[in-house]
A = this chain, B = another copy of it.
Amino acid sequence: MSDVLPVLRVLGMLVMLFALAMGVPLAVSLHQQDGVWQVYPIAMAVALVSGSALTFGLRRYQRELLPRHGVMLVSLAWSLLPLVASLPLTLACGLAGRPISFTHAYFEAVSGLTTTGATIFTGLDALPVSVNVWRTLLQWIGGMGILVLAVAVLPMLGVGGSQLFKAEAAGPVRDTKLTPRMTGTAKGLWGVYGTFSLACVLAYWLAGMEPLDALMHMFSTVSLGGMSSHDASFGHFRSPLLEWIAVGFMLLASCNFALYFIAMRKGHVREFMSDPEMRATLGTLVGVGLFIGLLLWIKGVYAPVEALRQGLFHTISVASTTGYASSDYLGWPVFAPVMMLMLSGVATSAGSTGGGIKMVRMLILFKQAQRELTRLVHPNAVQPVRLGGRVVGSPMIFSVLAFMLVYAATLILLSMVLMLTDLDPVTAFSAVMASLHCMGPGLGAVGPTSTYAVLTDFQVWVCTLAMVLGRLEILSFLALLTPAFWRR
């Protein structure tokens, strides 16, 4: 049990960092005079006091963290930080005369931090603007991972970051291509992220968005979060140009950021272009987008050019786990929304800001299945699984397969729990899937023109759990439940 104390100490530092982040909505609130500025100093004070109490009260537990600690920290962080993040939401909405429940505030904070981007608020356009800035900023913070941030900053504070970085799940092939020095790597990733963010906000602004809208939609785009400051989401702007810009940045953010980092740092452009996962991610997103565009044209839903844009924008938005919508795609032929939702589970790369199973796992599984088919007929054929020229060892294949299994079990279990509360199968499965993939809008009652507010509080908590499990790629969290974890 004393294990938890050094972990709580680090958690205290993260809480203090959150207090700093609240400076952004505070500044916006003061500048825009949206009438809720008082909320932010209060929330900041609470965060600073509780954070520093943990950090300084437990300073004698400062030590190098073990793998066990890493898993514990990630789980605690993703469970408790939303509490801190939800504080300004609760206070500001109350002050603005639109009180929200604890369940809803916590859901919204988790939805932001996990970059799910599902919303439980209605009347977004009428909210104090600083609330929308805070909602969308949470995605931007969560996009690169709170723990990557910690790795970049905390070593200065005397905490060994390597264990954190390992525990923060970022797909099965993490570490392999990065520099040995974790701190440098984390800073490099944030550098890439910052560059994309700057480019994105400028592009949105130049293409016609108001500056604050550009900022908030940049937060949602590069993090693949998908929250908007408007109820109509991207449909508010009625601008094909803005949609194409979003498509470009969503594609960028769907690939492994370490690849960009290495390409920029070492100039390995050819290695970058030949990365099998990146090619598969981009090929899938654009290929299926074109197919759905074609379908919309053939079925007569839109004229040809419009069909192509609608198909590409929505497929890439949903499948990259962003979840922007500019029209109600649930009215399309049923194949399209289901295909897009399922694709959100597999399309994005490991090390991107996207959610889901990650493309590299699908590639490994595909090659493994191919090998099994061959072995069925030629039982003695020896043929290792290869990916991008490298041999993928058996332990890696096993762990990918186990991941798939736990993923499927989680999906089915949580959906069945929702159905036990008499939710219809389409809404239940799609809500869990959209939450688990950190995507956002589902089908049925939680479609792109609806919100999760149609669910009961219990159902909302199930979806909240699904978002956290999805962001942690499930296994890290489940490890906590095994007896082996608690054994010395």
What residues make up the interface of A, taking CB atoms closer than 8 Å to B? 67-68, 71, 295, 333-335, 338-339, 342, 365, 368-379, 381, 394-395, 397-399, 401-406, 408-409, 412, 416, 419-420, 422-426, 443, 475-476, 478-479, 481-482, 484-485
A398 partner, pick from B67, B71, B368, B416, beta carbons under 8 A: B368
Those 10 A-B pairs whose CB atoms lie nearest each other, nearest first: A372-B402, A401-B401, A335-B419, A374-B484, A377-B485, A335-B420, A376-B479, A373-B482, A369-B402, A334-B419
Among residues of B, the one whose C-beta sits closest to the C-beta of A402 is B372
**Which residue from B368, B401, B423 sits with its C-beta under 8 Å from A368?**
B401
Task: Jot down 18 A-B pairs with beta carbons below 8 A, ordered by A.
Answer: A67-B377, A67-B379, A68-B377, A334-B419, A334-B424, A335-B419, A335-B422, A339-B419, A368-B402, A369-B409, A371-B402, A372-B475, A373-B475, A373-B478, A381-B484, A425-B426, A425-B443, A426-B426
Q: What residues on B are CB-neighbors of A395 within 8 Å?
A: 375
B contact residues around A424 at 8 Å (CB): 334
Contact A416-B338, Cβ < 8 Å, known A397-B398, A425-B426, A484-B378: yes
Q: What's the least CB distance linking A61 to chain B, in Å?
A: 21
CA of A416 to CA of B336 in the docked complex: distance in angstroms? 9
Is the CB–CB distance between B482 and A374 below 8 Å?
Answer: yes
Q: How far is the CB of A422 from chain B (nearest CB, A)?
A: 6
Residues of B within 8 A of A373 (CB): 402, 475, 478-479, 481-482, 484
B369 and A406 contacting across the interface, CB-CB below 8 Å = yes
- The CA-CA distance from A403 to B368 in the complex, in Å, is 11
C-alpha spacing A457/B71, complex, angstroms: 53
Minimum CB distance partner of A408 in chain B: B408
* Separation of A71 and B67 alpha carbons in the complex (Å): 48
Which chain B residue lies CB-closest to A342?
B412
B377 touches A416 (CB 8 A): no
| Most central of A374, A377, A412 by chain B CB within 10 Å | A377
CA distance A27 to B313 in the complex (A): 65
CA separation between A395 and B423, bound complex, in Å? 41
CA–CA, A381 and B333, complex, Å: 50
B369/A419 in contact, CB under 8 A: no
Is there contact, CB below 8 Å, between A333 and B422?
A: yes
* Contact between chains at B419 and A338 (CB < 8 Å): yes
Extra inter-chain contacts (5) besides given A368-B398, A397-B398, CB under 8 Å: A71-B376, A369-B402, A369-B406, A369-B409, A425-B426
A378's closest neighbor in chain B, by CB?
B484
| Shortest Cβ distance from A421 into B: residue | B335
Query: Closest CB of chain B to A104's CB: distance in Å?
Result: 25
Residues of B with C-beta under 8 A to A420: 295, 333, 335
Nearest CB of B to A296, in Å: 13
Return chain B residues, CB-CB under 8 Å to A334: 419, 422-425
Would you call B402 and A405 a contact (CB within 8 A)? no
Bound CA span A334–B373, Å: 38
A378 CA / B66 CA spacing, docked (Å) = 11
CB distance from A429 to the nearest CB of B (A): 9
